[in-house]
Structure 1
Amino acid sequence: MPNVGKYAELAERLAQLIEDDYSPGQQFLTNPEIAKRYSVSGNTASRAVQALKERGLLSGKVGGKTWVRVAPVRHLRSNEMYHREKQRVRLGEEERRTWGISEDSTKMAVTEIAENSVDFAIVTPPADVAELLGLTSGQKVLRRSYRRRNHRGEGASTSVSYLPYDLVSRNPEILDPTTEPWPGGTQHQLYTVGVEVDRIEDRVTAEMPTEREVEEQDIPPGVPMIRVRKITYDTSDRVVEVTDIPFPADRIELQFVTRLERWA
């Protein structure tokens, strides 16, 4: 078993080495190279590397190559962004193009993003989604799966949106993935099929990530996943969209603003 003081000291030396000599995304030393360079055992080298993975400085699978981690862009998710999105629904297209939910959350323009892909499919929804949308057996949804990397080499961010097919098929452009990113976002898309969004409910839970999420989103060991289920209602209290958004807890800040009525 590696000596705690020894591997902790080595981890600090390696952290300084990363800061001085390495760039994000660059391949790091192997455990044998570390052991030889610093005259320590393989176990001590391995534990020091693991400690730096837990701190988010390194990434890579056990037994595989290790890389200097590309730090993820932090997201600030505020419930007030939904108000800002609705305020822009009836603006002209050029004005709607200048701002969106993504820019609100990350402060990065869509044009700056390294990877931004989307996959559309007409599918039978999961049972819980069908129940929320009030769909009967056989009714379909437009499932939109989004994947984004803000910087090259960074862990991906993902989300999955479900819209009732019978509703959004009234505007064939909504079914076309080449129209993404849509100026004005989903609220404007719904507006084009006669829907005014009345309220949005975010249900927030937490659990540990799946192995696939750990790899895809480059999540350090021990970091939980914050799962947001966004449920969108129209003015008749009908659910018109369900979106699932997983956020690794090391890159998300949830801001809840509740405006209270003032005393007269």
Structure 2
Amino acid sequence: MRSRHHDIADDLRQQIALGGIQPSERLPSEADLATRYRVSTVTLRRALAILQGEGLVEKIHGKGNFVRRPHRKILYVGGWGTLDPLTAAEPELRVTIRSTTIRAQAHLMTLLKVPTGSPIVETTCVSHEGESPHGLARIYMPRDLLPAGVLDDDSTCRDAFKRFAVLGPPPVTLRETVCARPPTPDEASALRIGYASVVLSITRIATDSTDRVVEATLLAFPGDRVDAVFTTHHGPDKRQDPG
């Protein structure tokens, strides 16, 4: 038998889709909604949790539940390892940046192929449109490979951070592993999404001509806020007879 909170979520979802409840509009209080649907507040909150997980409703502490505005999507360009320059340059999109030096442990040793305890610079970047986060990047580089200006708020480095781009010289190889999965607790908090949401996860490894890993980046985008484009360039078929 279908649960009552699913029926309530369906009804509210339909009202939002048909414009009965407008973007940025505050929903009636949870107590009022529970009375309207003749259910307990526990059941009502389960219904709202479904809509919050879908990104349709946002709960703001102390203010209530609000219908989200449709998110403008940003574009990630695979192979170049960057947000689309036009997208990243739009004035509505801003990026907060925080850098710190840590010691390589566990997964960072594997990603960067460095010994335990090696000094690593971790830079966390979160892109926002208004108050809505659009993407999260955690960029890791061996401390000795750090380009000048990264820790000094250099404008060139800030431009690279805004595009989630590779920081150092163009790498010889850029390997990107892409998957869709639920967010980690840290990602859900930083991106303000529910645990039932789906994120596009990209692990990007950049290597130089000696096959040394010069940068490892962990990217996470809410699935409804990004498109990823990968273009393959085919060279001439060497199997063909040149004559």
TM class by smaller structure: 0.7 to 0.9
Question: Aligned partners of 1:6, 1:161: CA distance in 2, in Å?
Answer: 42
**Residue identity opposite 2:168 in structure 1:** L
Give the secondary structure class of the aligned counterpart of 1:166.
helix
Distance 1:205 1:223 in 2: 14
Q: Does 1:234 align with 2:208?
A: yes
Task: Give, in angstroms, the shift of residue 61 of structure 1.
Answer: 7.7
SS state at 1:128 partner: helix
1:199 and 2:183 aligned:
no
Change (3 A) 1:29 1:128: same
Percent identical among aligned pairs is 19
Q: Aligned pairs, how many?
A: 231
Question: Normalized against structure 1, the TM-score is what?
Answer: 0.70
Cα distance in 1 for residues equivalent to 2:5 and 2:132: 32
- Runs of 4+ with deviation above 6 angstroms: 61-64
Question: What SS does the aligned partner of 2:76 have?
Answer: strand
Cross-structure match for 1:71: 70
CA RMSD of aligned residues (A): 3.4
Q: Is the 8 A contact 2:126 2:136 kept in 1?
A: yes
Q: Where do residues 154-173 of structure 1 align in structure 2 (5 Å cutoff)? A: 154-168=132-146, 171-173=147-149
The corresponding residue for 2:151 is 175
Map 1:67-216 to 2 at 5 A: 67-82=66-81, 101-104=82-85, 107-113=87-93, 115-150=94-129, 152-168=130-146, 171-179=147-155, 180-182=157-159, 187=166, 189-191=167-169, 196-216=170-190
Contact 1:223–1:250 (Cα < 8 Å) also in 2: no
Q: What is the Cα deviation at residue 29 of structure 1?
A: 1.8
Going by fraction, where is strand more abundant, 1 or 2?
Answer: 2
| Aligned-pair CA distance for 1:256 | 3.0
Q: CA deviation at 1:49?
A: 3.4
Distance in structure 2 (CA, Å) of the matches to 1:211 and 1:236: 36
Alpha-carbon contact 2:74-2:227 (below 8 Å) kept: yes
CA distance in structure 2 between the partners assigned to 1:190 and 1:6 by the alignment? 51
C-alpha change, 1:11 and 1:229, in structure 2 (3 Å) is: closer
Task: Provide the residue aligned with 2:223 in structure 1.
Answer: 249
- Structure 2's unaligned 5+ residue stretches are none
Deviations 1:224-252 (A, max 9, x none): 33321100011222110011112233333
The one-letter amino acid paired with 1:149 is H
Residues 109-155 of structure 1, C-alpha deviations (whole Å, 9 max, x = no match) = 25332x421111121123332344332344312211112212x2313
TM-score (norm 2): 0.76
Gaps of 5+ in 1: 83-100
- Is contact 2:104–2:116 with CA below 8 Å preserved after alignment? no
Q: Tell me, in whole angstroms, the C-alpha distance in 1 between the residues paired with 2:135 and 2:141.
A: 20
Distance in 2 (alpha carbons) for counterparts of 1:250 and 1:13 = 20
Residue number in structure 2 paired with 1:217: 191
2:108 counterpart letter in structure 1: V
Report which of the two has the higher share of helix. 1
Query: Match for 2:58: what amino acid?
Result: S
Give the SS at the match of 1:204. Answer: strand
Change (3 A) 1:217 1:6: closer
